[in-house]
A and B are shown apart, each in its own frame.
Chain A
Amino acid sequence: MSEIIKVGMADLKTCVSPNGITTLGLGSCVGIAIRDPVNKIGGLAHVMLPDSNAIKSSQMNIAKFADTGIAELVKQMERLGAKRERMVAKIAGGANMFNFHGTSSFGQVGDRNVEATKAKLSQLKIPILAEDTGKNFGRTVIFYPETGDYIIRAVGKPEYKI
């Protein structure tokens, strides 16, 4: 009996085949799905901000930031037996929800989240097999470590997968 594990905002979880894992309503946040295609161990992180170092605060919500969230997800997957050298990723989100123009920081946060996500995955040498990022709409995603399918649902569009 497979189930779908739910990940919230600023949250991350691991997921093992045959289960799927989902996060709902990604706006400017980014959903990073990672798996080891050999033993089908996977996980999903829903990150909100690019860089934990930029923020002077004592709070420790690791999953909130791209850099610490991705690192933690990878660590948790490794503890379950996933091998970093084999890991591959797919990413979605980072939208500019209100079509902010010009130099408004609100309009840039989605892009900056995507950039930080790519930078971290690159640093960890985890290739990105597919991405559906940017634009101006929200996305719900479902990831299946068994197949690597990353399914995307958006308002007013038929479901698609990357």
Chain B
Amino acid sequence: MSEMSLEQVTENYYDVLKELGNIGAGNAMTALSQMLQCKVDMKVPQVRLLEFSEVGDMMGGEEQIMVGVFLGVDGDITGSMMFMVEEESARHLIQKITMGMLPPGSEFEEMGLSAMKEIGNIITGAYLNSLSTLTNLKIIPTPPALTVDMAGAILSVPAIQFGIFGDNILLIQSQFYDEIELDGYFILIPDLESYSKILGALGIPLI
């Protein structure tokens, strides 16, 4: 297999992710609606290729507190995926899903975080399902890990993986509406070997 740089890969991959972004977001919002027992609307997701310096700004600053859910991906493709949502949005989702059982302010204690992990799991699962359906590849998520911390610090995890091959990070931004507007960010981080598998499975030629 010839060596690929991220630049080569991302030209094709960008289009792929746009497609996935649309389908995945649709699936994820359906899953979220079911979980929250209410209608969730969404805008067309935006796929962005950002330089490291730009990502923090997009999320409201590197020090913006976010909840990050991280899971590994196994099977025919390997790598990982991350879902991030702003602190206030996370608290809102946790309150919704726990149906007001948690006193306000306690969302980031054990029960609330456990609920958030589940939300993250289901949302990323929906994205990965779309990928699996589109590519006919077996894609198995591993159990999720969660953290509540500054956006910059959380982003260092995928950024470092992307940093091995380039100076950009691929991000899918999904805005969805419940009673309030929620911004969710998805970052899919396939291992390099998996990029070509995904493109191959979708019939997209490498340059």
Contact = CB atoms under 8 A, between A and B. Distances in A.
Do A and B actually bind? yes
Interface of A: 8-11, 24-29, 48-49, 55-59, 61, 64, 95, 97-100, 104, 106, 109, 136-140, 155
A47 to B, nearest CB: 10
Question: Which of B5, B62, B151, B161: most chain A CB closer than 10 A?
Answer: B62
Nearest to A109: B160
22 contacts: A9-B56, A9-B155, A10-B163, A24-B150, A25-B56, A25-B154, A26-B153, A26-B156, A27-B153, A28-B156, A49-B160, A56-B3, A59-B166, A64-B163, A97-B68, A97-B147, A99-B145, A104-B72, A109-B160, A138-B150, A138-B153, A140-B150
* Smallest CB-CB A-B distances: 3 pairs: A25-B152, A138-B153, A27-B156
Contact of B167 (A61, A99, A136, A138): A61
B159 A9 contact: yes
Nearest to B69: A98
B53 interface: yes
Interface residues of B, number: 34
Interface string B90-116: 000000000000000000000000000
A45 to B, nearest CB: 14
Given A57-B165, A59-B166, A98-B147, A137 B160 contact: no
A83 B156 CA distance: 32
